[in-house]
């Protein structure tokens, strides 16, 4: 027995020693990530702000879905029975809260906002970091505006009610520290837009400088904030403010000319661009690239095609006719053929803000003033027209001019995701009369579907989130 207990004892001691040594062996850390406390500091400031841009490039946001959905819900493009089963419910206004693309867009928007909040709130205010904060203010404003465009009514829409409860989206300005207990309510539409304006003003102060053709176009800048602010004021119906902002930058960025417009959308940091997201060949997602929904079936899916109404707006001399081409009896858009420098089909830089929009926004604002300034508006429209191969207009009535501005806006921005907001902020009805398009009902501006449904995952996880009315 003595021997026995000796053996037992020694094995137990051996195990105990082994145990102690083993305890440290259980401290393992990941190899592609760092813990938060090591990352949120000065050293990684540049990586942190880069992360915000990267977050915006996911397929569910500017990688494809956001602008495509904004476009197919408009009337410039249609989907026919020759399709790959994508975006059909969005085009036909037949979605419900479980529709996947809304869920991923919502998540992407708020991840962008979170990343921006970390840079704004958690980093010190040094000379190096302050411009990054400016960029972050701009990006935060952009994400909130995109969320408002998707999940709330346009400010001037007939059903908007800007001071009503739950008419906006949740505005998140602090870094969320306790996510498990964070259940924000929706702000009013007015609060949402005011928060966006505040952020853009701060960005105008702090963000880096920008000039036409500079590589700084791929990051936020003072001018980008100004351009976005002009867009926000236009959407709100604050026409004077819109003109003021537009005036700050309009002479800095030459429009694309008749000579260089054909390849402009596929090019890099071109003259018109004020803010774009850079997509490099490492972001080549093959069939999921942005342009592939538009490129004809030999190259991409070819699901989304220009409507007859759109094509009829083009005058013969318009250089933008070059964006449309016919193939095998159908018409396609080749604006997003693919960035020649990166060599991948459908992979283009997403040009979010460019000067053509400022010209048209300013023109629209001039016509909407209480005492409209027709000559200035006409001057802006003609500036665009001449650079698009069209003859300048000598004179025009106010009503005709408003129509012309609308037309130019459609022709210029097809595919760039502005149309549906434009239709409903001006209280028009969206209708697709093309016989070969998938049938859809007309959508009047007071239709509940002008706002997308809040995704089911959000409603389930956040009891304070008020869903949009009309969806069950």
Partner 1 sequence: MKQKLLSLFFVLTCLVGVTFAQNRQVSGRVTSAGDGSPLSGVSVAIVGTSNATQTDGSGNYSIQVLGNDASLVFSYVGFNSQRIAVGSRSVVNVQLVSDEETLDEVVVTGYSTVSKLKSTIATSVVDAEALNNTTLPDVNQMLQGNASGVTASANSGQPGSRTEVRIRGIGSISASSSPLYVLDGVIMTNGDLTQNTPTQDVISSLNPADIENITVLKDAAATAIYGARGANGVIVITTKSGQAGQSNITLNAKFGGGDVAGKIDLMNSSQLLSYQRELMRTAGMSESDILERRPDMLAGNNTNWYDEAFQSTKNQTYNLSASGGNEKTQYFGSGEYFDQKGGLVGSHFKRYGARLNVDHKLSDKFDLSFKLNGSYTDQRSANAGNGYASPLLQMFFNTPYVPAYNADGSLSDGFSSGQPGTSGYAPFGNIPATYRPTLMGGNFMHTIEHDYNFNNNLYNSFNGAFGWNIIDGLRLVVRGNAEMINVEERVWWDPIGYNGRNYDGLLQNSNVKNTNLLTNQLLTYNKTFEGGHSLNLLLGNEFQKNDYRWTYMASQGFASSELQQPGVAAKPLDVDGDREQFAFHSVFLNANYDFDAKYFVGASIRRDGSSRFPKDSRYGTFYSGSAAWLISSEQFLENVSWINSLKLRTSYGRMGNADFLFTNRNYPFNALYRFDAVYNDESAAIASQVANPGFTWEKTKMFDVGIDFALFNGYLDGSVEFFDKRSEALILQAPLSGTTGFSTINSNIGSILNQGWEVTLGSTPIKNENFSWNISGNFSTLKNEVLSLVNDNPITPASNTNQRIEVGHSIASWYMQEWAGVNPDNGAPQWYDADGNLTSTYSQAARRYVGTALPKITGGLTNRLSYKDIDLSFLISFSAGNKALNRTRQYWENDGNSPNYNFGVDAVNRWQNPGDISDKPKAEWNNGSLSNSISTRYLEYLDYARLRNVRLGYNLPKTVLEKIRASQIKIYAQAENLITLTGYKGFDPDVNTAPLVPTSTSSVAVANSGVDFFRYPTAKIITFGVTASF
**Within positions 278 to 307, which residues make up the interface with partner 1, using CB under 8 A?**
278, 280-282, 284, 286-287, 297-299
The smaller minimum CB distance to partner 1, of residues 156 and 218, is found at 218
* 216-235: contacts with partner 1 (CB under 8 A): 218
**Spatial contact of 338 and 286, defined as CB atoms under 8 Å apart:** no
Shortest Cβ 385–partner 1 spacing (Å): 32
Closest to partner 1 by CB, 326 vs 399, is: 326
Q: Is 9 in the site for partner 1 (CB under 8 A)?
A: no
Cα–Cα separations (whole angstroms), residue 313 to 161, 404, 406, 412, 413: 33, 10, 11, 11, 13
Ramachandran sector of residue 461 (left: φ over 0; alpha: ψ -120 to 50; beta: rest): alpha
Closest separation between CB of residue 149 and partner 1, Å?
A: 17
For residues 190 and 148, the answer to whether their CB atoms sit within 8 Å is no
Nearer to partner 1, 170 or 377 (CB): 170
Looking at residue 323, the DSSP 8-state letter turns out to be G
C-beta separation of 89 from 98 below 8 A: no
Smallest gap from Cβ 466 to partner 1, in A, equals 13
Q: Does 161 bind partner 1 (CB under 8 A)?
A: no
Is residue 254 close enough to count as binding partner 1 by CB under 8 A? no
**Total number of residues that touch partner 1 (CB under 8 A):** 94
Angle CA 264–59–426, to nearest 5: 65
Q: Based on CB atoms, which residue is closest to partner 1, 87 or 233?
A: 87
Query: Which one of residues 70, 117, 367, 387 is an interface residue with partner 1 (CB under 8 A)?
Result: 117
Query: Are 155 and 193 a contacting pair, CB within 8 Å?
Result: yes
Of 109-117, 221-229, 307-315, 419-427, which part binds partner 1 (CB under 8 A)?
Answer: 109-117
| The binder of partner 1 chosen from 254, 343, 392, 433 (CB under 8 A) | 343
Smallest gap, in angstroms, from Cβ of residue 334 to partner 1? 15
Orientation angle between helical segments 374-386 and 355-368, nearest 10 degrees: 150
Window of 54-62, 237-245, 306-314, 408-416 that interacts with partner 1 by CB under 8 A:
54-62
Give, to the nearest 10 degrees, the angle between helix 129-151 and helix 100-122. 150
Instruction: Tell me which H or E stretch contains 56.
Output: helix 45-56
Closest CA to 159 of 368, 443, 447: 447
Task: Give the footprint of partner 1 on residues 168-197 (CB under 8 A).
Answer: 170, 172, 176, 179-180, 182-184
Among 65, 76, 115, 442, binds partner 1 (CB under 8 A): 115
Look up tokens 């879905």; give the residue: 65
Using the rule CB under 8 A, which residue among 160, 189, 455, 468 binds partner 1? 455
Q: Is 82 in the site for partner 1 (CB under 8 A)?
A: yes
Question: Which among 137, 162, 134, 133 is positioned nearest to 148, based on CA atoms?
Answer: 162
C-beta closer to partner 1: residue 179 or 259: 179
Q: Kind and range of the H or E element at 277?
A: strand 273-277
User: CB-wise, 258 or 459, nearer to partner 1?
Assistant: 459
Q: Least distance in Å: CB of 373 to partner 1? A: 40
d(CA 413, CA 364): 15
Q: For partner 1, which is the closer residue by CB, 284 or 321?
A: 284
Q: Which two tokens stand for residue 83?
A: 């399709």
List the interface residues with partner 1, window 21-50 (CB under 8 A). Answer: 22-23, 25-37, 39-40, 44, 46-48, 50
By residue count, the chain amounts to 472
First to last CA, the chain: 77
Residue 250 makes contact with partner 1 by CB under 8 A: no
């Amino acid at each position: 027995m003595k021997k026995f207990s000796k053996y037992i004892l020694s094995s137990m001691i051996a195990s105990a020693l082994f145990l102690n040594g083993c305890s440290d062996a259980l401290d393992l850390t990941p190899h592609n990530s760092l813990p938060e406390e090591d990352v949120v500091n000065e050293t990684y400031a540049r990586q942190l702000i880069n992360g915000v841009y990267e977050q915006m490039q996911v397929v569910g946001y500017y990688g494809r879905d956001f602008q495509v959905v904004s476009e197919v819900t408009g009337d410039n493009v249609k989907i026919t029975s020759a399709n790959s089963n994508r975006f059909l419910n969005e085009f036909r206004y037949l979605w419900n809260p479980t529709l996947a693309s809304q869920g991923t867009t919502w998540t992407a928007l708020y991840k962008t906002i979170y990343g921006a909040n970390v840079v704004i709130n958690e980093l010190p205010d040094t000379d190096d970091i302050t411009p990054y904060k400016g960029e972050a203010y701009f990006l935060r404003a952009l994400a909130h505006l995109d969320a408002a465009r998707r999940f709330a009514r346009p400010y001037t829409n007939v059903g908007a009610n800007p001071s009503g409860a739950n008419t906006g989206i949740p505005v998140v300005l602090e870094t969320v520290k306790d996510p498990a207990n964070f259940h924000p309510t929706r702000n009013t539409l007015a609060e949402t837009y005011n928060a966006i304006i505040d952020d853009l003003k701060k960005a105008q102060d702090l963000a880096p400088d920008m000039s036409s053709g500079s590589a700084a176009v791929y990051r936020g800048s003072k001018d980008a904030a100004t351009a976005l602010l002009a867009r926000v004021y236009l959407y709100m119906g604050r026409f004077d403010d819109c003109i003021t902002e537009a005036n700050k930058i309009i002479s800095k960025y030459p429009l694309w000319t008749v000579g260089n417009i054909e390849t402009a959308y596929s090019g890099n940091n071109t003259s018109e661009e004020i803010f774009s997201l850079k997509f490099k060949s490492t972001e080549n997602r093959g069939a999921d690239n942005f342009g592939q929904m538009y490129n004809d079936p030999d190259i991409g899916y070819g699901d989304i095609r220009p409507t007859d109404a759109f094509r009829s707006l083009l005058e013969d001399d318009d250089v933008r006719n070059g964006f449309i081409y016919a193939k095998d009896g159908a018409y396609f858009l080749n604006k997003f053929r693919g960035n020649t420098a990166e060599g991948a089909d459908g992979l283009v830089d997403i040009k979010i803000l460019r000067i053509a929009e400022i010209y048209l926004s300013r023109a629209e604002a001039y016509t909407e003033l209480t005492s409209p300034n027709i000559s200035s508006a006409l001057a802006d429209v003609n500036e665009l027209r001449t650079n698009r191969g069209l003859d300048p207009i000598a004179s025009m009535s106010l009503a005709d001019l408003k129509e012309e501005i609308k037309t130019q806006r459609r022709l210029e921005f097809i595919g760039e995701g502005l149309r549906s907001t434009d239709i409903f902020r001006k209280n028009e009805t969206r209708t697709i009369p093309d016989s070969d398009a998938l049938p859809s009902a007309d959508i009047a501006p007071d239709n509940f579907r002008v706002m997308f449904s809040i995704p089911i995952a959000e409603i389930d996880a956040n009891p304070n989130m008020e869903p949009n009315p009309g969806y069950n």
